[in-house]
Amino acid sequence: MRSALATILRGSGLGAVAFVVFGPITNLALWAFAVQWYFPYKLPVVWGFKYWYEVFKPRSDAWESLSTSVLIALFTVAACLVLAVPAGYAIARGRLPWRGGILLAFLLPQAIPSIAVYFNVARIFYGVGLNGTIAGVVLVHTVHGLVFAVWIAAAAFAAVDRELELAARNVGASALRSFLTVTLPLAAPGIMASVIFVFLESLDEFTGTYFVGVPDVTTLPLLMFTASVAGNYQIAAITALILLVPSVGFMLFIERFLKADVLAKVGG
Amino acid sequence: MRRSLLLSAAIALSAVLAASPGHAQRKVTLNVVTAGDQNMVDYVKDYLAPIFEKDHPDVTVKSVGTGPGDAGSQKIYEKLVAEKGNAEWDIDVAVIHQKAAGQMVSEGLLAAYVNDVATGKLVHSPAASNSLGANVAGYVIPMFNSQTAIAYNSQLVKDPPGTYADLVKWVDANPKKFGYNGIKGGMSGVSFVVGWIYAYTPDAEKLMKGPYDPNLKGTWDAAWSSLKAFNEKVVLTPGNAGTLDMLGRGEIEMGPVWVDMFYTWQADGKLPPSVKLKLIGPGMPGQPMYYTVPAKAANKKLAEQFIELATSPKVQADGIVKRFNWYPGIDATEVKSQLDDATWNKLFVDVTPQDLQTKGKTFPITPYFNDILEGYEKKVQ
Amino acid sequence: MRESRLAMFLLVLPALAVVLALFVYPLAMSAVSSVTDKAGATTLDNFAKAWELYREDVIFTLLIVAVSTAFIGALSAGIGGYLVLGESRRAIAALRWLYRWPLFIPFIVAAQCMRTFLAKNGLMNNAFDTLGLIDVQNAVGFLDWRGIIVTFVWKQTPFVALIVAGAMASLDRSTIEAARNLGASRIRILLEIVLPQVSSAMIVGLTLSFVTMLSVLSVPIMISGGAPTMITVDMAFRINSYSDYGVANALGLISYAMTAIAAWAYLRSNAAKRGMA
């Protein structure tokens, strides 16, 4: 009797979560196939693929923009990892001078809405020839990604028990070796979570891309931005659905890798 | 394990690199950057570009949008300022709003190209030389003219108000059925507010033509307090698109919109066919979008040829009027002769040419414009 | 055996240099305009004007973001807690699959979804109307401050939950099991055993999401048309309507000051923990 009640409660709880999560997304899916939808109709009046054709028509550069977006996001992830892992470790472990100030500095790019900043970055990049290059856009995205990468990496390293590291050092492992074999694997789950955020942040970014990339480098979020702000719901919905594919794919890829890692440790 | 991640990442990267085309282009790329809705970007991409590329086989036209409204133009302005020091700029044709045009001309960011373009002679509207009080003659040709008007659902509103005074009465009788987007969410709301000032202060002509008198704004208090009372009985919508959005869902019955945006929304099936337009008296502002060439555009000659095509009577007739139902940028007489009467008259189903002549206003000159916006911020919000 | 301060600083340096060169330096280039007037003299006029015109919006922004952060914290604790303490494996798997989706929806699209979902005649009210729960004619819309909070919470809860759930998953389960054997309720275990141990992950997640919400323009501009509004909208308005970078930057610095307060919470909790260790 009690368990039946629990099942019902559990089911309705999950149902409520599903409604909250998928309600707004359903809207997205409906708009992607709505050719006509207006008052007083509660659902689209005419359905179809009209706007899918719009997005993927022969003259459109949706595919190219999509692959550019994914490429930039992957490079951004790589750059953030290279920079954030040592930085996060130092923040978590070391007796770092101005530790608070340094952490605050990494928050800046996410905290200040930054059109004025991009404008100056573009000015610098035009001077050194980085404007209109993939590298330039990756750099701009990296600055934003570092907020997540450094903060989360620092928390992940801080959560690793210091004693384990010291034990490895005591049996003769070098500092680098004990870091690579003990500390890094233990902090990996947290770092991987941050990598997902870096990837998503890059994949959704459009203001920096505009100032530094356009017109030579164009990404899919630029199209999504124009469409969304102007209320071209169908185009915006379709672009967002397309962007779901690399986003979810990347996360599954990361999780698969993580699981393999964890299993290897258990087995070995 | 880490190595295997790096390895697979590298493989993924090279796969993407190999898949992305467009590395080995030897063609010239003409960059057209548009501040405006997606449909304007698409108009360049789908309609103008193929025609232009047919005549210029070695040219690829690239069309990029920066978002609608003054914010979009501001982004073009900022990008040009950022690359001011370079010898060649990466934008060849910029489509911008009035506010940015004046500023960009005065800061030397635009080229005076109109005399080099044959179609420059086909434009005689005041908007081609005067942009919110700034002299832009020689630097701009209008792409199309747009106008704000009141959209209303004709099924719910049988007898739409014809003036601001009527509208106030209608709103008294129908609270929360009229919506507009304030002044921070886009120009259709700004336009409604400017129209309010034109209606309820005595110096509308002076606001549009100048000269600037900094004391004038002190005489608007009555207009602001009546607008504040009016705002109590209306819905404030989120943005230009927000007003159309609420009309489309039937949450409001009336609201100010851009005529060009209105037709796009209706064509996209997001507004009921029963929603119609009315230009109310004494008048509401409109403004053109301008074709411009940045001063150091890398492909200046091609840019001029592109604009020449885009402002030719045939393209204005087929592209601007027939496809989008927009008011042409060049002189109407030049365009009308290219079209049959039925197509031409479709432009004026709701808003007649006479309405446009008497009630289609311009925006005020820039200093007054700023006074109006700041007055609203201080006294109405 | 203690790593030298210099070595540690060298490890941070590359990342720090990137942020300094590509954000702080360009920011300083324009932030100067917030404290100088047209003639180039130092002035606080821009801050005075920002405060005079947008005081209410500053407070509104702080309230919106603080309330959203509170909801996000509670919900992500709940999600993370159920994932570690839940009894039905199937329900856990379902929740794990469910909760993350909003993470993949960009803010601007989330705003669009919510605009058409939460509106008076939006999908939500229409769905309830069809089910016979409400009458849509008398329904209310949520496109105001409530809509902004709902959108923020919807979009940011999975972000924090992902971080928190990760930290919870790596906890030592023996204390949890011991408490359970003693008959402690799950709520109590969550509040008294699990949450204290993941508090630093929770605070990192909340700080990052606090900061993110402060800087989002699309949500307030697309959801709520009325006044007061959020600082980002005012900043965009100053720039687009008046080309006034001075007041816009002053607002940006005010926004950063709020961030610094949030970050201070984190640093303090961190310092407290170090004191214990």
Question: pLDDT band at residue A60, thresholds of 50, 70 and 90?
Answer: confident
Query: Which of A10, A25, A112, A232 to mutate to probe the C interface, most C CBs <10 Å?
Result: A112
Secondary structure (3-state) at B60:
strand
- Nearest residue of A to residue B32, measured between CA atoms: A215
- What is the pLDDT, as a whole number, of residue A1? 58
What is the ipTM for the molecules in this complex?
0.89
Report the C-alpha gap between B23 and B21 in whole angstroms: 6
Structure tokens at A78: 């790589």
Q: Chain A: residue nearest B264 by CA? A: A232
Nearest to C18 among A83, A120, A251 (CB): A83
**Below-70 pLDDT ranges, chain B:** 1-26
Q: What is the pLDDT of residue B199?
A: 97
Q: Which chains touch A (3 or more CB pairs under 8 A)?
A: B, C
Does residue B31 sit at the A interface (CB-CB below 8 Å)?
yes
pLDDT < 50: residue spans in chain C: 1, 275-277
Mean pLDDT of A16-26: 93
Give pLDDT, residue A258.
65
What digits encode the pLDDT tens for the residues B253-269? 999 999 999 998 999 99
Say which of B65, B82, B250 has its CB closest to residue A122. B82
| Structure token digits, residue A12 | 């309705």
Q: What is the model's pLDDT at position B21?
A: 44
C residues 224..253 contacting A (CB < 8 A) = 231-232, 235-236, 239, 245, 248-249, 252-253
**Chain centroid to CA C135:** 34
Instruction: List residues bridging with C229 in a β-sheet.
Output: none
Residue range A40-47: mean pLDDT, rounded = 90
Mean pLDDT, to the nearest integer, of A253-257?
81
Q: Which residue of B has its CA nearest to A72?
A: B13
Residues B343, B345, B350, B352, Cα dihedral to 10°? 150
What pLDDT shows up at residue B6? 52
CB of A135 within 8 Å of a chain C CB? The answer is no
Query: What contacts C245, CB < 8 A, 6 or more positions away?
Result: A116, C30, C33, C34, C238, C239
Which of the four pLDDT bands, split at 50, 70 and 90, describes residue A176?
A: confident
Q: What angle do CA B81, B83, B88 make, to 5 degrees?
A: 125
**So what's the pLDDT on residue A264?**
40
Q: Given A34, A39, A115, which is nearest B249 (Cβ)?
A: A39
Beta carbons of B89 and B83 less than 8 angstroms apart: yes
HSE, side-chain direction, 13 A CA sphere, residue C33: 17
For every residue of C156-215, DSSP letters joined together read HHHHHHHHHHHHHHTS-HHHHHHHHHTT--HHHHIIIIIHHHTHHHHHHHHHHHHHHHHT
